[in-house]
Structure 1
Amino acid sequence: MLEPDLDVRQRTRSDAPWVAVVWDDPVNLMSYVTYVFQTYFGFPRQKAERLMRQVNDEGRAVVARGLREEMERHVEAMHGFGLQATVGRDAT
């Protein structure tokens, strides 16, 4: 006996978490990026500064992990703050 087809959302949804990545850009000040991480994500200053330095030094930083829809909302919010950000699969 064949099982009924799964809903398309269930077939395409991955158990692997997704990430929101913020990329380095030549426009935004490091202090502003730190401010955004603190105000939007609620990160303590030390974590916000560490992530900002990672963006500056390595060119990118993963700022959140979770369901794809949630990461898409975070990326849209980062765009609203003028930061470059993308959604991707978590490689860890």
Structure 2
Amino acid sequence: MPQIDESTRVREAISLDRPWVTVVWDDPVNLMSYVAYVFRSYFGVTAAEAERLMLQVHNNGRAIVATGDRESMERHVEAMHGYGLWATLDRAEE
């Protein structure tokens, strides 16, 4: 049986603890006002926060709109698809 050194175990433990994120991507279809509306209505953020996230999507091509466990982020991605937004799931950056 191969030996696993302690540094490998530590990296694996850190990797397992790293949260997931929901990323919303820019698209040529949805109006900026609609994207802000989705963020307000689904995530319950303030109008100012929805505007900030929407501008991030518009100007940077993407925005991280939620962080948490994988199952919750999968639900958020599915919900964003239901609203017609392009969203994906990813691991949070270290």
Pick the structure with more helix per residue: 2
TM-score with structure 2 length normalisation?
A: 0.83
Confirm or deny that 1:26 pairs with 2:19. no
Alignment partners' CA distance in 2, 1:50 and 1:43: 10
Unmatched segments (≥5 aa) in structure 2: 1-12
**Match of residue 4 from structure 1:** none
SS in 1 for 2:74: helix
Alignment partners' CA distance in 1, 2:81 and 2:16: 25
Query: How many aligned residue pairs are there?
Result: 81
Percentage identity across aligned positions?
65
Alignment partners' CA distance in 2, 1:70 and 1:82: 19
Q: What RMSD in Å do the two structures reach over aligned CA positions?
A: 1.4
**Deviation digits for residues 6-37 of structure 1, max 9, x if unmatched?**
xxxxx9x8210000000000000000000000
Unmatched segments (≥5 aa) in structure 1: 1-10
Alignment partners' CA distance in 2, 1:28 and 1:74: 18
SS in 1 for 2:30: coil
